[in-house]
Chain A
């Protein structure tokens, strides 16, 4: 008998002829997620199996694997030989030992769920389920079988190649598609609550992401920068290995402040961010920009504000997955991802430097362009890109 972690995928089932490529990508992402652990990773006819690990590390390995997009659930399972007598023996000896004193056996009702991917297994699924149920009832006469709403479901999964996996709990993963199957994009990471959630959502649909953060040292602190690194590290559990590009925005802000009307500060700043992001994307053959913008959350995120930032983009789309969420919905997701507590650390982001009293709510594009014409836009963008520092988020 061997302890294994068994992972099941979801949407990939719907893929047709190219399912194989999705499966291979999922396997590669799974391997990446547990890199550094001594552990065997394999895809066994649609089930992904982690085995051969140190049992003390089970929780950590399962936690990492469960964050790989594409999987819908996992179980901690026992792997045994798929022979009737071996399976019976398991339920007569190991199973009671394993669950003696376990709260799961305080249950009153149970059922067996037998699946045979290997149709050469001599006993039919339903028949075998009731046979095994009988063994358990002999050992624990107080239990009752309930096929509809059991408190405990014992899953017996007989796979090809003569192996059988036995588990009692299915733990939900995050679903989605394997990262890398939907192209590459650059996600803007501000340090706030929304942007890591936006990145999470696009990564969930299979986008391979790198991150871009704008900081305004010395107007913002080094702690603010460290916080964004920390956020990228948390999201990395979902996105896989990535890079955080840190762009100093200080000089651009100073130039806008010196040359343009105060109330245009935020609008013009965000247009610069988009220009820098698009230029970087094109240089890196990325296909989109991802932001955590949320309609009407702040003055710059009105429909007019968003339109004025989009107007600088020449080729690429901006994906704003949390555009129509309420804040509490975003917070719920941030808690689920584990970024919320870091996002709310009180370090100011670059938007607070030179913050105008009354930022424009409905910027007029012509006027914005007129204000901007006082700046050497191309040079400022080039300089900012040239000064970018890269943190590898391993």
Chain B
């Protein structure tokens, strides 16, 4: 099996599984008042501090664990939006959890506008500047596109936003960036940032939202006082400690390794297959196989135990790919697009082999479609 759909999810590392199993034995509820529970609560806070340190931001009771990154994005958009905002801006290339939340805000009466992407896959900075007004209250821009791997320049976006409105809240969905790119979030001028564990070899069922000042946020679910009254529900301690193990396993060497893996894949691709972006995260590669449907190739490769995706798995049921369309790709090319996504567990040799298998399948299919 060659698994190249790591933007959908990644396998848990053995040390993550071990941490998870160990943590399930400690069954106490961190909200209880006796010693073992208090100890557990403190450990959860330490995990948050560790994550914030990795992100490059201060931790001051301003990191909230959620049940998924989708929930964290919902909490960000609905929890940060205020009725007096004149406008909310998000990009056309957001993950459905931001995009559809923005549409829902629109239905609630907010003015929401969608900033297009430039042909290089990043947000169109000029358009953003044009659309940004002094009373725009909230901007949400994905850090690394889950569909194309394009990396948005958050510092630049922050400058554009602040020039118009110093107090505008800036949220970014960092699910495909955290643990994969080397950056200091504190330098970007971001107010809220979403992360996920299972995209970086952690467990499913846990995400998180860092927020610069938790007073900016109001809860979207109501219940107990967990997570500073911002996200009720008993903490999923096993997932929290497994997440910690995944964070511990991050290495500064990962990025360089991934560049080699991605290059090995590209170097073995048929010259008829096009890469959609020149510059992108080495973890995600968007390609177009002209003249065929991506889904057919996914099926053909699946029979050879090579697993890839057509786009974001959270939106793969729908025809098309929002990001590629916003970048200006033609419908035909979007139909033939595929998303290849790697992890630190992918070897350059396997990536090369997968590219060869894909290229062969593509040429066979193209000959039949002529």
* Residue in A222, A254, A346, A353 whose beta carbon sits within 8 Å of that of B318 in the complex: A346
Enumerate chain A residues within 8 angstroms of B318, measured Cβ to Cβ: 346
* Residue in B299, B317, B319 whose beta carbon sits within 8 Å of that of A217 in the complex: B299
Enumerate chain B residues within 8 angstroms of A222, measured Cβ to Cβ: 299
Cβ-based interface call for B254 (8 A): no
Q: In the bound complex, how far is the Cα of B295 from the Cα of A222, in angstroms?
A: 11
Interface residues of A in 198-248 (CB under 8 A from B): 217-219, 221-222
* Residue in B296, B302, B317, B319 whose beta carbon sits within 8 Å of that of A219 in the complex: B296
Enumerate chain B residues within 8 angstroms of A353, measured Cβ to Cβ: 296
Enumerate chain A residues within 8 angstroms of B295, measured Cβ to Cβ: 221, 348
Whether A221 and B368, one on each chain, are in contact in the complex, defined by CB atoms closer than 8 angstroms, is no
How near does chain B come to A250, taking the closest CB pair, in angstroms? Answer: 9
Interface residues of B in 293-340 (CB under 8 A from A): 293, 295-297, 299-300, 302-303, 317-319
Query: B301's closest neighbor in chain A, by CB?
Result: A218
The 0/1 profile, CB within 8 Å of A marked 1, for residues 115-129 of chain B is 000000000000000
Q: Is chain A's interface secondary structure helix, strand, loop, or mixed overall? A: loop
Enumerate chain B residues within 8 angstroms of A218, measured Cβ to Cβ: 296-297, 299-300, 302-303
How near does chain A come to B300, taking the closest CB pair, in angstroms? Answer: 5
Cβ-based interface call for B369 (8 A): yes
Q: In the bound complex, how far is the Cα of B369 from the Cα of A353, in angstroms?
A: 10
How near does chain B come to A122, taking the closest CB pair, in angstroms? Answer: 66
Enumerate chain B residues within 8 angstroms of A170, measured Cβ to Cβ: none
Contacts A219-B293, A346-B317, A346-B318; is A257 near B369 (CB within 8 Å)? yes
Cβ-based interface call for A261 (8 A): no
Enumerate chain A residues within 8 angstroms of B303, measured Cβ to Cβ: 218
Enumerate chain B residues within 8 angstroms of A336, measured Cβ to Cβ: none
Whether B368 and A254, one on each chain, are in contact in the complex, defined by CB atoms closer than 8 angstroms, is yes
Query: A222's closest neighbor in chain B, by CB?
Result: B299
Q: In the bound complex, how far is the Cα of B36 from the Cα of A55, in angstroms?
A: 47
Contact sample, A vs B, 10 pairs, CB 8 Å cutoff: A217-B299, A218-B299, A218-B300, A219-B296, A221-B299, A222-B299, A346-B318, A348-B295, A353-B296, A354-B369
- Residues of A in contact with B (beta carbons under 8 Å apart): 217-219, 221-222, 254, 257-258, 346, 348, 353-354
Q: In the bound complex, how far is the Cα of B299 from the Cα of A222, in angstroms?
A: 8
> A-B pairs with the 4 shortest C-beta distances?
A218-B299, A218-B300, A218-B296, A219-B296
Enumerate chain A residues within 8 angstroms of B302, measured Cβ to Cβ: 218
Query: B297's closest neighbor in chain A, by CB?
Result: A218
Query: A352's closest neighbor in chain B, by CB?
Result: B293
Enumerate chain A residues within 8 angstroms of B293, measured Cβ to Cβ: 219
Q: In the bound complex, how far is the Cα of B303 from the Cα of A92, in angstroms?
A: 70
Q: In the bound complex, how far is the Cα of B319 from the Cα of A218, in angstroms?
A: 17
Q: In the bound complex, how far is the Cα of B61 from the Cα of A52, in angstroms?
A: 62
Enumerate chain B residues within 8 angstroms of A221, measured Cβ to Cβ: 295, 299
Enumerate chain B residues within 8 angstroms of A258, measured Cβ to Cβ: 368
How near does chain A come to B370, taking the closest CB pair, in angstroms? Answer: 8
Whether A257 and B368, one on each chain, are in contact in the complex, defined by CB atoms closer than 8 angstroms, is yes
Q: In the bound complex, how far is the Cα of B300 from the Cα of A217, in angstroms?
A: 8
Q: In the bound complex, how far is the Cα of B317 from the Cα of A354, in angstroms?
A: 20
Q: In the bound complex, how far is the Cα of B292 from the Cα of A353, in angstroms?
A: 10
Query: B317's closest neighbor in chain A, by CB?
Result: A346
Enumerate chain A residues within 8 angstroms of B299, measured Cβ to Cβ: 217-219, 221-222
Q: Which of B299, B300, B318 has the most CB of A within 10 A?
A: B299
Enumerate chain A residues within 8 angstroms of B297, measured Cβ to Cβ: 218
How near does chain B come to A43, taking the closest CB pair, in angstroms? Answer: 48
How near does chain A come to B67, taking the closest CB pair, in angstroms? Answer: 26
Enumerate chain B residues within 8 angstroms of A346, measured Cβ to Cβ: 317-319
Q: In the bound complex, how far is the Cα of B300 from the Cα of A218, in angstroms?
A: 6
Query: A346's closest neighbor in chain B, by CB?
Result: B317
Q: In the bound complex, how far is the Cα of B71 from the Cα of A89, in angstroms?
A: 60
Q: In the bound complex, how far is the Cα of B299 from the Cα of A383, in angstroms?
A: 22
20 further contact pairs, Cβ within 8 A, besides A257-B369, A348-B295: A217-B299, A218-B297, A218-B299, A218-B300, A218-B302, A218-B303, A219-B293, A219-B296, A219-B299, A221-B295, A221-B299, A222-B299, A254-B368, A257-B368, A258-B368, A346-B317, A346-B318, A346-B319, A353-B296, A354-B369
Q: In the bound complex, how far is the Cα of B300 from the Cα of A257, in angstroms?
A: 19
Enumerate chain B residues within 8 angstroms of A219, measured Cβ to Cβ: 293, 296, 299
How near does chain B come to A96, taking the closest CB pair, in angstroms? Answer: 44
Query: B300's closest neighbor in chain A, by CB?
Result: A218
Q: In the bound complex, how far is the Cα of B310 from the Cα of A221, in angstroms?
A: 12
How near does chain A come to B153, taking the closest CB pair, in angstroms? Answer: 35
Enumerate chain A residues within 8 angstroms of B369, measured Cβ to Cβ: 257, 354
The 0/1 profile, CB within 8 Å of A marked 1, for residues 98-126 of chain B is 00000000000000000000000000000
Q: In the bound complex, how far is the Cα of B302 from the Cα of A217, in angstroms?
A: 11
Q: In the bound complex, how far is the Cα of B292 from the Cα of A257, in angstroms?
A: 14
Query: A348's closest neighbor in chain B, by CB?
Result: B295
Enumerate chain A residues within 8 angstroms of B319, measured Cβ to Cβ: 346
Query: B319's closest neighbor in chain A, by CB?
Result: A346
Q: In the bound complex, how far is the Cα of B307 from the Cα of A222, in angstroms?
A: 14
The 0/1 profile, CB within 8 Å of A marked 1, for residues 359-370 of chain B is 000000000110
Query: A250's closest neighbor in chain B, by CB?
Result: B368
Q: In the bound complex, how far is the Cα of B369 from the Cα of A218, in angstroms?
A: 13
Q: In the bound complex, how far is the Cα of B295 from the Cα of A258, in angstroms?
A: 21
Enumerate chain A residues within 8 angstroms of B300, measured Cβ to Cβ: 218
Enumerate chain B residues within 8 angstroms of A254, measured Cβ to Cβ: 368
Q: In the bound complex, how far is the Cα of B303 from the Cα of A222, in angstroms?
A: 11
How near does chain A come to B283, taking the closest CB pair, in angstroms? Answer: 26
Q: In the bound complex, how far is the Cα of B365 from the Cα of A354, in angstroms?
A: 12
Enumerate chain B residues within 8 angstroms of A257, measured Cβ to Cβ: 368-369
Q: In the bound complex, how far is the Cα of B303 from the Cα of A381, in angstroms?
A: 25
Enumerate chain A residues within 8 angstroms of B296, measured Cβ to Cβ: 218-219, 353
How near does chain A come to B336, taking the closest CB pair, in angstroms? Answer: 13
Q: In the bound complex, how far is the Cα of B296 from the Cα of A254, in angstroms?
A: 13
Interface residues of B in 255-302 (CB under 8 A from A): 293, 295-297, 299-300, 302
Q: In the bound complex, how far is the Cα of B368 from the Cα of A362, in angstroms?
A: 27
Query: A217's closest neighbor in chain B, by CB?
Result: B299
Q: In the bound complex, how far is the Cα of B303 from the Cα of A258, in angstroms?
A: 24
How near does chain B come to A91, taking the closest CB pair, in angstroms? Answer: 50
Enumerate chain B residues within 8 angstroms of A217, measured Cβ to Cβ: 299
How near does chain B come to A176, taking the closest CB pair, in angstroms? Answer: 36
Q: In the bound complex, how far is the Cα of B370 from the Cα of A257, in angstroms?
A: 8
